Structure 1
Amino acid sequence: MIPMRRWILIGSILGGLSVMLGAFGAHSLKAVLTEKSLATFQTANQYQFFHSLALVLVGLLCGYLGEGNDSKANKAGWFFLAGIVMFSGSLYWLALGGPRVLGPVTPLGGLSFMIGWFLLAFSFPKK
């Protein structure tokens, strides 16, 4: 699959899932979770949503620049996806009472987000 289509598709699906999870958290989990756990869930949801939009941006950028699988923009997409899985995924897990063994994964997800943004910044050609 070409990078443009891949990232727009993945970003759109993850964006839709983040809206669903946000509604689930606001309506179903509010009565079940503690304030701290609900705040953790909301943080996971916000980062998932923002980085889903970033994935769509990566797809549009790959299309605009005509870049393939070895481009910095494409690599940024992989880091954003890894960040969503590790950062948001581990926070969702912790908020819902999962074992704290995934706690150390959260900072790795944050690092993935940072690397993705820096790769995105350097993906523009110098013209």
Structure 2
Amino acid sequence: MLGALLILTAVMGGAFGAHALRGMVAERSLEVFQTGVQYQMIHGLGLILIAILGALNVSRRLLALAAGFLMAGVLMFSGSLYLLVLTDWRWVGPVTPVGGVCFMVGWVLIVIAGLRQGNGQESI
């Protein structure tokens, strides 16, 4: 459900950026905004993948942790990009790479969960 909500709001954000922001902000700012939308969309799909893997009895503990990291990544990465464009608050810029690290940790946890399942190790 959370993945679908992220995707829905990414589509809405993409439309907002393409229509409402065009002409209001610089072209580079539109690119930054669209990057936030793109990463939000991808990680919404990641949350849906996590739900599917959980239904297949892949380690729910690792998947829950991964989901938390993906959500934190969306909030920090995409959220900071949205704030940079909409508010021009430059102090949120350093938050963006922290969100990127959260994305990477989340995906590594998904890989580990899948490898453990694939090796026949007990789910934890």
**TM-score, normalisation: structure 2:** 0.90
Task: Specify every segment of 5 or more residues in structure 2 that has no aligned partner in the other structure, as ranges.
Answer: none
1:87 aligns with 2:46: no
Query: Which of 79, 99, 102 lines up with 1:109 in the alignment?
Result: 99
| 1:1-20 deviation line (CA, Å, top 9, x unaligned) | xxxxxxxx110011000000
Question: Over the residues paired in the alignment, what is the CA RMSD in angstroms?
Answer: 1.1
Q: Which amino acid aligns with 2:99?
A: G
Q: Identify the residue that residue 40 of structure 2 maps to in structure 1.
A: 48
Query: Which of 56, 59, 67 lines up with 1:77 in the alignment?
Result: 67
Q: Identify the residue that residue 6 of structure 1 maps to in structure 2.
A: none
Aligned length, in residue pairs: 117
Q: Report sequence identity in percent.
A: 44
| 1:7-65 deviation line (CA, Å, top 9, x unaligned) | xx110011000000000100111111101110000000000000000001011111111
SS at match of 1:96: helix
Go from structure 1 to structure 2 and tell me whether the alpha carbon gap of 1:66 and 1:115 turns closer, same or farther (over 3 Å shift).
closer
Q: Identify the residue that residue 12 of structure 1 maps to in structure 2.
A: 4
CA deviation after TM superposition for structure 1 residue 67, in Å: 4.4
> Are the counterparts in 1 of residues 59 and 113 from structure 2 also a CA contact under 8 Å?
no
